[in-house]
Amino acid sequence: MNRQRIGEELPAQSTEENRFEVLENGNQYFPSVFAAIAAARHEVIIETFILFDDRVGKELHAALVAAARRGVAVDLTVDGFGSPDLSDAFIAGLADNGVRLHIYAPSRRLFGMRTDWYRRLHRKIVAIDGQFAYIGGINFCEEQLTEFGEKALQDYAARIEGPLARDICDFARGQVQGFTKTRRWWSMAWRPRRRTGPPASVNRAILVIRDNNHHRDDIERHYRAAVLAARHEIVIACAYFFPGFRLLRALRDAARRGVAVRLILQGNPDMPQVKQWATMLYPYLLEAGVQIYEYCLRPLHAKVAVVDSEWSTIGSSNLDPLSLALNLEANIIVQNRDLNRQIRVRLEPLLREHCRLVDSSAIPRNTFWQIFSNFVTFHGTRHFPRWAGWLPGGMAPKVQSIGSGNSGGAPKLAGVTHTR
């Protein structure tokens, strides 16, 4: 298999050789992941935005320690902003038993204030033995379990076996190897983009990443290409929806040409501003015939979409400025009827039983001040990534590695409120 440079979009693989299983919430995801770790023989690589020292985190901790003790190479990468409360004992328990822990952009403060609340490692990837991989939006915390209650997150991930899983494993391994390379302070802002090939064609599956070097808008471009090519139906379930104008216009134009466009967004948000921002876009979409459903049972954390009967995507990327222009993200883009069907089977009950259809007549007409405020908010937010790199914490983040001879000890990560 041809090895790509770190950050390269991987070549498309035939979906006839891949097997997919959609997992809903931590209730299905965690048992599958922990069983795969228990069966691992050579290698376990995990990237996650959130890891908490709760029941789920402790179970992952035990599974990784057990794997490392039997000789499996184990690398765990967490985000320093998303995983702020890992205790010294939790970290030492991993490092002392052979688990290599990598902390992306460890917590830091300027005059007592957090400065690194953007450019996060937001990917959720599990790669095992070069044979199995998991990708989606599910973090390692109790909030992903339905028994957590009314604040439990509704979410999805995919288990993959086959050539695409091997590509994901190669990518994850390359990221770990890249942590030891020197990074120049301007690398996040000044490297030219490298355009990748066309979207996945029929019976193709690819890993698509978003980084701040060569792949700054790859995920968004694949979304737009799928929407522009849609003939019958588009269904997007997205936790944080505030995309750029070109994707908004593509959705509106698709609805106007007769495509059934359905958006499943948050109706019971984990953060109030999330719904406020999305609501700003409602009139523009509704007047074109886009149907907007608000999921009201619990906070929605999904990042999935299907187009027509074959195209689908699942991964960590929301459709908002943080995911589309700042964070490190990873999605799979797949042309496969079975995966498309599996995602639909998961989404249809949400639409029927737990969503309310937004009525365009119930949306009040905006005043002049609201129109002006929305304009400033939308364009200010969308253009923020262009100059965010010059703010404190906006340059290339560092990675702190602990374990297997790495010095530095177990850091104390200060607590902070975070987005997911």
Chain segment 50-60, per-residue pLDDT in tens: 999 999 999 99
Give the confidence band of 408 by pLDDT, cuts at 50, 70, 90: very low
Look at residues 255, 303, 44, 263 and name the one whose alpha carbon lies nearest to residue 153: 303
Write out the two tokens for 64. Answer: 């990784």
User: Where does the pLDDT of residue 362 fall: very low under 50, low under 70, confident under 90, or very high at 90 and above?
Assistant: low
Most confident of 2-6, 245-249, 258-262: 258-262
Q: What integer is the mean pLDDT of 365-381?
A: 57
* In a shared domain, residues 298 and 347: yes
Tell me the whole-structure pTM to 2 decimals: 0.85
Residue 200: domain span:
187-376
Instruction: Find residue 334's DSSP bridge partners.
Output: 205, 312
- Please report whether residue 87 resides in a domain: yes
145 and 205 within one domain: no
- When mean pLDDT is compared across 14-18, 71-75, 122-126, 166-170, the lowest value belongs to 14-18
What is the Cα–Cα distance from 303 to 315, expressed in whole angstroms? 6
pLDDT (tens digit per residue) in 152-205 = 999 999 999 999 999 999 999 999 988 645 333 222 232 333 444 444 444 589
Looking at the annotation, which residues are catalytic? 122, 124, 129, 301, 303, 308
Q: Which of 84-88, 168-172, 189-193, 237-241 has the lowest mean pLDDT?
A: 189-193
**Residue 391 belongs to some domain of the structure:** no
Q: Does residue 114 belong to any structural domain of this protein?
A: yes
Cα angle, residue 301 at apex, residues 234 and 188 outer, rounded to 5°: 90
Task: Determine which of 135-139, 275-279, 322-326, 374-378 has the lowest per-residue pLDDT on average.
Answer: 374-378
Residues 118 and 180 in one domain: yes
Contacts of 148 (CB under 8 A, 6+ apart): 142
Q: Note whether 225 and 293 are same-domain residues.
A: yes
Within a domain: 414: no
Question: Using CA atoms, how far apart are residues 100 and 345, in angstroms rounded to an integer?
Answer: 38
The secondary element (H helix, E strand) that includes residue 102 is strand 100-104
131 — pLDDT class (breaks 50, 70, 90): very high
Concatenate the DSSP letters of all residues of 242-260 into one string. Answer: ---HHHHHHHHHHHHTT-E
